[in-house]
Amino acid sequence: MSLSGEQYQSLNVLDVIRGIWQRKRMLTTLTLLGLAAGAATVLLSKPTYQSEAQLIVENTTTSFERAAGDQQLGPQSPIDERLITSQVSVLKSGDLYGRVVDQLKLPELPEFNPALRNSSFLKTLMIAAGFADDPAQYTPRQNAIKAMAAKVTVSSIQDSNIITITSRMNDKKAAADVSNELAEAYVASTRQSDTDSTDRARQWLGTQISDLRQKVSESENAVEKYRAEAGLLKGQTVTLGTQQISELNSQITVAETASGEATARANEIRSMLNAGSLDSSIDVLNSPLIQNLREQQAAAARKVSELSATYLPNHPKMIAAQKEYASINTEIRKEALKVVSSLQGQAKVAKQRAEALKANLEAMKGRESGANISDVKLKSLERDAQANRTLLESMLARYADASSRQDSSQQPSKARIIQRAAVAPTPYFPKVGPTIFLTTLAGLALGLGLAFIMEVMSIAANAARNAPRLTARSHVAAAQLEHQGIQIPTMLPEAKLMPDAFSQPLQMVRPAPVFVAPAAPAPQPAATVTPVSVMAATGSKVAALDLLTNAENQMPEALRANADKLRNICQVLKDSRSEKLFSFTSIGSAGPDAALAAVITSRALAEAKRRVVIVDVTTQGGDLEMLVGLPAGTGLTDLIAGQADFTKIISRDPHSTVHIIRKGMAHDATTQARLVEKFESILTALSSIYDLVFVLAGEANPATPAMVKHCPIAFLLAGLERQRDAMAAAHVLEAQGIKATMFVQVDGGSAAPMRRVV
């Protein structure tokens, strides 16, 4: 059974609540059943205890435990999510579970060995039907491993390196022991895996070291043998030939320096002899003989000086003293020349020695150039020997490090236990209070849900039974309208247009159904229209306001009949055809006739408990606010311009429950164009909230069809003299998609009997 839109609208929350309360016996029964189910669960279920151990996966190797090569690599790589997931899978492995089963002797516990406990009839039936495995087909150890896998949960904490091991068992001590033993077995297995790798490395290193030792010995023997054959004997740091060449270079430099120095000193003495003074020559002054002669020279000079004071220069003593002084000077000169000769001899000897050394050097260079070629091969052999020696030393260091880690207890693990499982003091399941509360709440919720569904279905059935009555009431209302001379419009086939309809500013495409009457006295008897209602012409805004407000807070009797007719039309169209959108437009009116008709009709509908909204889309606005007594304010154009939201533009009629949406304060062309573009979506939103939506278009103008084309029903207000214009306007509106157009006379004339033509 499905509900129509009207039936859904007839649902009342209070009625539904009353209907649910009438089924309180069912609610009580289901609530008590939930309470009983909770109590049975608590009494019949075996208590389950939970214990949890936690591991943190990290690199526990310190810098002191690494090999020398590993220390140069810097810190170890960080732990990533893939490694954590891998370690969780390792913890769930059957091999690790088997170690725990063997260590704790779990097959001896009834909880892990089906053979030690009685099998229920349901379990036996499921085994016979193939829905469960037969424990007899497995060994006690395999059954214990399967039971442990079902009772142990291994998971990782998100965004961390922590792994939790949770055990839920009937034996609280066994729950704690299993979690702790599984954690310890995992840590030990990580050490054991590293120990196995170390043993394999030791075996491989031992083989490599034996081969390398043989290679190092052979390469070193080859180096020494070739060095002896090529005569590339080493000195302190280089070969003997290179060392000899270096020493010869040093000796040549010393000899050439000595020769040059001796020659320079001899030349200096000669220059001094020519100058007549030897006082600045170190070589002459350092000679013992010359030093003795200079002492004699000084004594002879004193003697000549003493005799000159007593004797004349021609005196024999003076002459003898001067001869003695001259003789000493001659001896000094001879000795100085001997020194010069000695120095020249030293220079000559040094020069000859340097030449001899140069000859030896050239010979040595010739021999050494040949030795260099042999030295190249020797260096190649030495590099091979050094490489083998270095590799052997590295292998020996790694072998020593692997030997030190031979014991598994000395190996670092990939994880460590940060929390050991403790024996739980209270059961994890069932919790007496929460279990009973939740089952009771579930029973109550089930009762409320069933009661709600049953009540909604009951309302839907009643609505279906009352649907013919609603249709009958609609037919009665339609009959009353026909008795008053009003017919409900229907879609009619196309017809030809009147030629003079184009004289109006509206353009016409196809006709719409209109209501006309037989010829009556009028300015244009060729085309008369029967009005659905007759209203007094207002003539001006002041007259319209006086007409509407001449009775305090009540609709004047002059407008009551008109309002009732228009209200009945809207109600019938709403109930029978679900029409919600109506437009009000006037033609050739000097006052706010369309606004007055929309106000009185909406107030009459509001008295009938209908939710009605009037949307003002007149060119300038103002008529609607003036009639209902609202000040000017924000409206549709302000909403389109983004200056107000939807809730701010809706106002209430001070004298009824009708809602008003004013035109707004923004009147520029851009905003008006956007309003035309968005108006359909606005009407769609309003029609989903209100029972009826009235679009007040005001005096007809070229822009009116674009604004009212989304309203299926249109009310045209005009005087009898404008009937031809009203028919032309009806054609234009039909061309825009309007289903029915109704004429409301505003000049106060009497209406002739109605008949409908095309």
Q: Which domains does the chain have, with CATH numbers?
A: 1-45+430-483 (no CATH), 47-201+408-429 (3.30.1890), 240-404 (1.10.287), 506-745 (3.40.50.300)
C-alpha span between 660 and 612 (Å, rounded): 9
Reply yes or no on whether the pLDDT at 221 is more than 90. Answer: no
SS3 assignment, position 496: coil
Reply yes or no on whether the pLDDT at 492 is more than 50. Answer: no
The β-bridge relationship of strands 415-419 and 713-718 is: unpaired
HEC-encoded secondary structure of 61-93: CCCCCCCHHHHCCCCCCCCCHHHHHHHHHHHCC
Residue type (1 letter), 740: A
Residue type (1 letter), 429: F
Q: Report the share of the chain in percent with pLDDT over 90.
A: 16
pLDDT per position as a tens digit, 597-608: 888 899 889 888
Q: Residue 412: exposed, middle, or buried by beta-carbon count in 10 A (0-12, 13-18, 19+)?
A: middle
Residue type (1 letter), 101: V
Reply yes or no on whether the pLDDT at 504 is more than 50. Answer: no
pLDDT per position as a tens digit, 616-657: 988 766 788 888 888 888 888 888 888 888 778 888 888 888
**pLDDT value at position 62?**
56
Q: How many C-alpha atoms does 690 have within 13 Å on its Cβ side?
A: 27
| Locus of tokens 């080859």 | 222
C-alpha span between 484 and 499 (Å, rounded): 33
pLDDT per position as a tens digit, 134-182: 888 899 999 999 999 999 999 999 888 999 999 999 999 999 999 999 9
Q: Under 8 Å CB-to-CB from 261, ≥6 apart: which residues?
A: 347
Reply yes or no on whether the pLDDT at 553 is more than 70. Answer: no
C-alpha span between 90 and 289 (Å, rounded): 108
Tokens, residue 194: 């590293």
Residue 288 or 151, more confident? 151
Reply yes or no on whether the pLDDT at 556 is more than 80. Answer: no
pLDDT per position as a tens digit, 26-48: 889 999 999 999 899 888 888 99
As a whole number, the mean pLDDT across the chain is 76
Reply yes or no on whether the pLDDT at 322 is more than 50. Answer: yes
**pLDDT value at position 196?**
62
Tokens, residue 668: 């520029």
pTM for the full predicted model? 0.41
C-alpha span between 322 and 527 (Å, rounded): 182
Reply yes or no on whether the pLDDT at 434 is more than 50. Answer: yes
Reply yes or no on whether the pLDDT at 610 is more than 60. Answer: yes
- Under DSSP, the state recorded for 655 is T
Q: Under 8 Å CB-to-CB from 694, ≥6 apart: which residues?
A: 582, 583, 584, 598, 601, 602, 612, 613, 614, 615
Tokens, residue 3: 């509900």
C-alpha span between 53 and 419 (Å, rounded): 5
Reply yes or no on whether the pLDDT at 714 is more than 60. Answer: yes
pLDDT tier for residue 590 given thresholds of 50, 70 and 90: low
Angle at 673 between CA 669 and CA 675, to 5 degrees: 115
Reply yes or no on whether the pLDDT at 586 is more than 70. Answer: yes
Give strand pairing partners of 651. Answer: 660
Residue type (1 letter), 177: D
**pLDDT value at position 165?**
95
**pLDDT value at position 295?**
76
**pLDDT value at position 253?**
79
CB 163 within 8 A of CB 55: yes
**pLDDT value at position 36?**
92
Cα→Cα distances 598→181, 550, 625, 656, 697, Å: 86, 18, 12, 13, 10
**Dihedral of the CA atoms 55, 59, 60, 63 (nearest 10)?**
-170
**pLDDT value at position 728?**
84
pLDDT per position as a tens digit, 510-552: 333 333 333 333 344 334 567 788 877 776 777 777 667 665 4
End-to-end CA distance of the chain: 42
Residue 728 or 356, more confident? 728
Reply yes or no on whether the pLDDT at 755 is more than 50. Answer: no
Q: How many C-alpha atoms does 689 have within 13 Å on its Cβ side?
A: 12
Reply yes or no on whether the pLDDT at 473 is more than 70. Answer: no
C-alpha span between 664 and 660 (Å, rounded): 12
